[in-house]
Structure 1
Amino acid sequence: MIEDFVRRVRSREAVVGYWLLADSPVMAERLATGGYDYLCLDQQHGLMGYHGIRDGLLAIDAGGGLGPRPTVGLVRTAANDPRCVGQALDAGAAGVIVPMIDDAEAARAAVRHAKYPPQGRRSYGPMRAELRRGPDLAVVNDTTLVAVMIETASGLEHVEEIAAVPGVDALYVGPYDLALAIGDTEAALKRILLAAHDNEKPVGIHADDGAMAAERLALGFDFVSIEGDLVHLEQVAQSHLDRAHRRERNSHAS
Structure 2
Amino acid sequence: MTSVHGPGNNAEDAAAAVSHCRYPPHGVRSCGPRRAGLRVGPRPAESDRAVACVVMIETAGALENLDEICAVPGLDGVYVGPSDLTLALGGRFPGDPDVADAFADATARIAAAAARAGIAAGFHCPDGATAAARLAEGYTFATVSSDLVHPEQAAAHLKAARSS
* TM-score category (smaller protein): 0.7 to 0.9
Distance in 1 (alpha carbons) for counterparts of 2:69 and 2:116: 12
Aligned residues: 145
Aligned residue identity for 1:187: D
Among 51, 57, 61, which residue is 1:150 paired with?
Answer: 57
Q: Which has the higher strand share?
A: 1
TM-score by length of structure 2 reads: 0.79
Q: Indicate whether 1:130 and 2:37 are aligned.
A: yes
Distance in 1 (alpha carbons) for counterparts of 2:38 and 2:149: 34
TM-score by length of structure 1 reads: 0.52
Aligned residue identity for 2:16: A
Secondary structure at the aligned position of 2:32 is classed as: coil
In 1, are the aligned partners of 2:70 and 2:114 still within 8 Å (CA)? yes
> 1:128: how far off?
2.8
Among 138, 141, 160, which residue is 1:223 paired with?
Answer: 141
Distance 1:162 1:210, change over 3 A: same
Tell me the percent identity. Answer: 47
Larger Rg: 1
Consecutive unaligned residues of structure 1, counting only runs of 5 or more, are 1-75, 82-98, 242-254
Q: Indicate whether 1:105 and 2:12 are aligned.
A: yes
In structure 1, the partner of 2:125 is: 207
Across the aligned residues of Structure 1 and Structure 2, the Cα RMSD in angstroms comes to 2.3
Among 94, 108, 114, which residue is 2:21 paired with?
Answer: 114
Distance in 2 (alpha carbons) for counterparts of 1:126 and 1:150: 32
Q: Indicate whether 1:186 and 2:104 are aligned.
A: yes
Secondary structure at the aligned position of 1:167 is classed as: coil
Secondary structure at the aligned position of 1:148 is classed as: strand
Distance in 2 (alpha carbons) for counterparts of 1:167 and 1:141: 10
In 1, are the aligned partners of 2:81 and 2:124 still within 8 Å (CA)? yes
In structure 2, the partner of 1:165 is: 72
> 1:229: how far off?
4.8
